[in-house]
Amino acid sequence: MESPYAWSFTTGTAADTTAPTVTATSPANNATGVAVNAAVTATFSENMNASTLTTSNVTLKNGATSVPGTVAYNGTTATFTPSSALAYSTPYTATVTTGVRDAAGNAMASNRVWTFTTGTAPDSTPPTITATNPANNATGVAVNTAVSATFSENMNASTVTTATFSLNNGVTGTVAYSGTTATLTPSSALAYSTQYTATVTTGVRDAAGNAMANNRVWRFTTRAAPPAGTVRILLLHHSTGFYIWEGDGIQTIPGGLDTYNTAHGTNYVIDELWYPSNTYPLGSNNPYDYWNLWVNTTDTSGQFDLEALTQNYDVIVFKHCFPVSDIEPDSGTPDVSSGGQTLENYYLQYAALKTRMLQFPDKKFIVWTGAALRAADTTVAKAARARIFFDWVKGTWDESGDNIYVWDFYELETGGTNYLLDENADSSDSHPGSAFAGRVAPYFVNRLVDIIEGRGDTGSLTGE
Ligand SMILES: [Ca+2]
Ligand SMILES: [Ca+2]
Ligand SMILES: [Ca+2]
C-alpha cells in the first residue's frame, strides 16, 4: 500500500444569523438640553447593509411631524442630519426601524426608539432695571444712604463697576453686585439738601452678554441738615403716655432719642410732664381739657398755659389717655365748652386747638392719636366712634404744610381694628403692655425726629 495521503481543510464560517442591534445613540435616550444643531446617530453592533440606512428607516419626529433630513452611514454608525436647526425646548423622537439589515441581510429584532429634548433658546433680551433705591425723585434721603439698582435678571458681575454705575457731584465710592442688585456705597456721607443723579450705563450686561437698551438715570434729593442747636421737646401725658416713655425698660423714648443724638450729632432733649397736674379739678386730658387750658384759659388750677409751655419748649407733644375713646352718640347740639365726650364736641374742640396752635408758627405740635380701649372695655358703637374720630384727626383735621403733626399711636395699638388689641394691652386694663410699649417707643422717636428735621409731612405717621 502506498503511503497514506493526508490533507487538511477548514470549514467555512457559519452563516450570520444574528440580528443586528443598536449599541449606542446620540443624543442618549432622555437627553435634555440638546443643541438644536445636533446630528442624531445610531451605532450598530456590526456592519450594516448601507443601502438599508435610509430616511425611511432612520427617522426623527416632533410628535407626529417628521423632521426633514438626510441619512449617512459610515463605519457602523448611521447619522441623521436635519435639514435645518431643530426647535428650542422641544421633545423629539428618533427611530431606527426593523427595515435596517446587517451585511448578511438580518433585520433588527424590533424598532429602536429614543427621545430627547432640545435646550432652551438663548437669552437675547436686554436686561432692564426694575427698581432703584432711592426711587426716582425721592426726597428727604438720608445722607449716609447707599444707592442701589435691581435688574430684571442675573447680570455679568464684571460689567457692574464704578465705570457703569455712578453718582454725580464728584461722589466716589464702591460698587458691589449681589443677587440681581448693584449697590453703590459712597466713600463718605452725601451733602444735605442736594440733588444727586445716579446713572447705570449700557455698559452693564446680562449673563448672556446683552447690554441694557438705554442708560438708566434717576435723581433724588437728600434731606435737610438737622437743627444745629438744642431742640427742646415736652411730652404731655398721663399714664398711657408714660407707659410708652418707659417702653419695656430697654427700648424707651429718652433712651432712643439719646441713641439718635449720638449717631447724628444732634441735641434733641425731651422732658415729660404729667399734664394737667393733679391740681386740675377734672383730672383728665381729653380734648375738652386741652381746649379749656389752651383756648378758654380761664382755669385757675395753676396749669401751664400754652404761652408758658412754648416759652420753654420747641416741640409740644400732647395726647389723651384711653377714656378719650369712650365716645357717646352726638346730642345734636355741639358745644365746644362741653366736657361731654361726643364726636360733635371733639370736632369743635380740635378745630379751636388747631387755630390756637397755628398762632405759634415757630413751634411744632404733635398730637398722639388714641388711646384705644380693649374690646372688653368698650362697646362696638363707642369703638366705632373712636375710629371715626382718629381717622378724622389724621385725614381731615391735620393738614400738610403747617406746624401741627400726628403720631398715629391709635393705629399701632389697634392694628387697623377699632380696639386696643389684647396682645398690645396690659393684662388688667386698656393700658399698653410692656412688650408693645418697647416695640413702639422707637417708632415715636422716629416720628419725632422726622418732624423736627422737616420730614413731618412725608414720613410714616406711625414712625414704622
Ligand atoms: Ca448579524
Ligand atoms: Ca437677558
Ligand atoms: Ca399738619
What was the pLDDT predicted at 5?
85
Grid cell at residue 127: 436686561
What was the pLDDT predicted at 1?
55
Distance 362 CA to ligand 3 centre (A): 13
The pLDDT confidence band at residue 351, using thresholds 50, 70 and 90, is very high
| Cis peptide leading into residue 82 (ω within 30°) | no
Compute CA distances 277 → 54, 212, 239, 273, 365, whole Å: 105, 66, 12, 8, 20
Distance 401 CA to ligand 3 centre (A): 6
Helix (H) or strand (E) holding 115: strand 112-118
Instruction: List the beta bridge partners of residue 65.
Output: 62
pLDDT tens digits along 241-297 = 999 999 999 999 999 999 999 988 899 999 999 999 999 986 799 999 999 999 999
How many whole angstroms separate alpha carbon 339 and alpha carbon 284?
10
pLDDT tens digits along 177-208 = 999 999 999 999 999 999 999 999 999 999 99
Residues 372-390 have a mean pLDDT of 98
Distance 105 CA to ligand 1 centre (A): 8
Instruction: Give yes or no for residue 121 having a pLDDT over 70.
Output: yes
The pLDDT confidence band at residue 2, using thresholds 50, 70 and 90, is low
Select 230-452's CATH number: 1.10.10.10, 3.40.50.1110, 1.20.990.10, 3.30.420.40: 3.40.50.1110
Sort strands 216-222 and 195-200 into parallel, antiparallel or unpaired: antiparallel
- Among the bound ligands, the one closest to the CA of 76: 1
pLDDT tens digits along 405-423 = 999 999 999 999 999 999 9
pLDDT tens digits along 368-380 = 999 999 999 999 9
How many whole angstroms separate alpha carbon 55 and alpha carbon 57?
5
- Among the bound ligands, the one closest to the CA of 367: 3
Compute CA distances 69 → 62, 331, 364, whole Å: 13, 92, 83
Q: What letter represents residue 358's amino acid?
A: L
Taking the domain 129-222, which CATH number applies? Answer: 2.60.40.1220
User: By C-alpha distance, which of 281, 285, 322, 334 is closest to 413?
Assistant: 322
Distance 60 CA to ligand 1 centre (A): 25
The DSSP-derived string for 32-76 is: EEE-TT--EEEEESS-B-GGG-STTTEEEEETTEEPPEEEEEETT
- Among the bound ligands, the one closest to the CA of 400: 3
Distance 365 CA to ligand 3 centre (A): 9
Distance 19 CA to ligand 3 centre (A): 94
112: CB partners within 8 A, 6+ apart: 21, 22, 25, 42, 95, 96
CB atoms within 10 A of CB 389: 23
Residues 236-240 have a mean pLDDT of 92
- Among the bound ligands, the one closest to the CA of 210: 2
Q: What letter represents residue 336's amino acid?
A: V
The pLDDT confidence band at residue 224, using thresholds 50, 70 and 90, is confident
- Among the bound ligands, the one closest to the CA of 44: 1
147 — phi, psi (to 5°)?
-115, 130
Residues 392-412 have a mean pLDDT of 98
What was the pLDDT predicted at 345?
98
The more confident residue out of 201 and 458 is 201
Q: What letter represents residue 226's amino acid?
A: P
How many whole angstroms separate alpha carbon 431 and alpha carbon 322?
7
How many whole angstroms separate alpha carbon 195 and alpha carbon 189?
14
Distance 81 CA to ligand 1 centre (A): 26
Q: What share of residues in the chain are helix, strand, coil (percent, to 5)?
A: 25, 30, 50
Q: Specify the fold of 22-118.
A: Immunoglobulin-like (2.60.40)
What was the pLDDT predicted at 342?
98
- Among the bound ligands, the one closest to the CA of 123: 2
Residues 171-179 have a mean pLDDT of 97
Enumerate residues with CB within 5 Å of ligand 1 (an ion). 16, 18, 102, 106
Q: What letter represents residue 171's amino acid?
A: V
Distance 400 CA to ligand 3 centre (A): 5
- Among the bound ligands, the one closest to the CA of 396: 3
The pLDDT confidence band at residue 448, using thresholds 50, 70 and 90, is very high
The DSSP-derived string for 143-192 is: TT--EEEEESS-B-GGG-STTTEEESTT--EEEEEETTEEEEEESSPPPT
Domain ranges of the chain: 22-118, 129-222, 230-452
Distance 330 CA to ligand 2 centre (A): 63
User: By C-alpha distance, which of 456, 309, 322 is closest to 383?
Assistant: 322
Distance 336 CA to ligand 3 centre (A): 22
Domains 22-118 and 230-452 share a fold: no
Residues 6-23 have a mean pLDDT of 88
- Among the bound ligands, the one closest to the CA of 364: 3
The pLDDT confidence band at residue 14, using thresholds 50, 70 and 90, is confident
Instruction: Give yes or no for residue 429 having a pLDDT over 70.
Output: yes
Output the pTM of the full model.
Answer: 0.63
Enumerate residues with CB within 5 Å of ligand 2 (an ion). 123, 125, 206, 210
Helix (H) or strand (E) holding 200: strand 195-200
